[in-house]
A = this chain, B = another copy of it.
Amino acid sequence: MDEKKIRTEVGELGEFKLIDRLTKPFETKNPTTTVGIGDDCAVITPNGDKMVVTTDLLLEGIHFDLTYFPLKHLGYKAVVVNLSDVYAMNAIPSQITVSIGISKRFGVEDLEELYAGIKLACDRYEVDLIGGDTSSSYTGLTISITAIGHADAKDIVYRNGAQINDLICVSGNLGAAYMGLQLLEREKRVFVSNSNTAPQLKGYDYILERILKPEAGRKTINALREKGITPTAMIDISDGLSSELLHICKNSNKGCRVYLERIPIDEQTVQMANEFGIEPSIAALNGGEDYELLFTVPITDADKIKTVEGISIIGHITDAAKGAFLVTPSEDEVMLTAQGWNAFTKE
């Protein structure tokens, strides 16, 4: 017998029942969460000296393409990109709010998929969903998430603390999400011109996972804490390495030298870049959505940082007057420019 896919119209439920149905599987786990969904506001009992707050707006067609982005992955990623900002302050995320705007194209079951991804991220990162808003929309899907985290005052790391001679470090590897996105876009174009073609995605699961299901920097933050390392400056890499390096340099009023051959790039990223005729380092420098952490540590922490798995030292901080440069293997110095993802010029 054929299993018929059930579709419940959102209008059948109405706003309150929809919210009940979507948020029922969520349980609050943080002792700082006093009251979650169900009143005019959520209530938090602060823990630690400081709270950090960040927010992101994701719009269909601009930030994601549902032709290849499964709703569950999208829900997961929408949470993760916010948590990434919290870890980038060296804070621990504890709560999120999720607002969605949905057109008639989406049934209740679609939204349950989206919320299954949101729940997976909440469970994995131990954060509580404490509120939100649900609305119809004339066009597509809108997701707005706000994340809250906690830290002791002494632990918070800003973008502006980098000092001359500090080592510049990056977690994981860069450019993978960008090449994963190029692959998905290519296969979409092929599919549009001939819908009988199956997408050719084999052998590229790592770069696909990096774009479809990225992770936030918890592992890095925990490892640094274990080793007793507090970065002097930190930022998460959402717009590409160049753009983020320039943020740290500008905010810290410093310059930098980063070495091209030290930038960590995965083998699949290199392969896919070669297929596309792109220099892999360009993907790493200017591609976005890596959600790795870029940070600086005092040179006296050099030995300690080398023992942290998955961290690469890619350069050092200089005097502001020396500018921000990339050093190639042939020792050419190329001035860094932010060609990162710009939501406005892409339109």
Contact = CB atoms under 8 A, between A and B. Distances in A.
A53 B131 contact: yes
B158 A39 contact: yes
A51 B45 CA distance: 6
A62 B139 contact: no
A45 B170 CA distance: 29
A53 B41 contact: yes
A120 interface: no
A44 B50 contact: yes
A158 B215 CA distance: 36
Contacts of A139: 138-140
Contacts of A136: 59, 62, 343-344, 346-347
A41 B88 contact: yes
Question: Is the interface on chain A under 10, 10 to 19, 20 to 34, or 35 or more residues?
Answer: 35 or more
B55 A347 contact: no
A328 interface: no
Contacts of A137: 59, 62
B44 A135 contact: no
Given A51-B44, A97-B55, A15 B343 contact: yes
Contact of A11 (B42, B158, B159, B344): B344
* Across the A-B interface, the 7 shortest Cβ-Cβ residue pairs: A46-B46, A144-B144, A41-B52, A40-B88, A57-B99, A40-B85, A41-B54
Given A15-B343, A138-B139, 17 more contacts: A10-B344, A11-B345, A13-B344, A38-B251, A40-B54, A40-B86, A41-B86, A41-B149, A42-B52, A44-B50, A45-B50, A53-B146, A57-B144, A101-B142, A135-B343, A136-B344, A139-B140
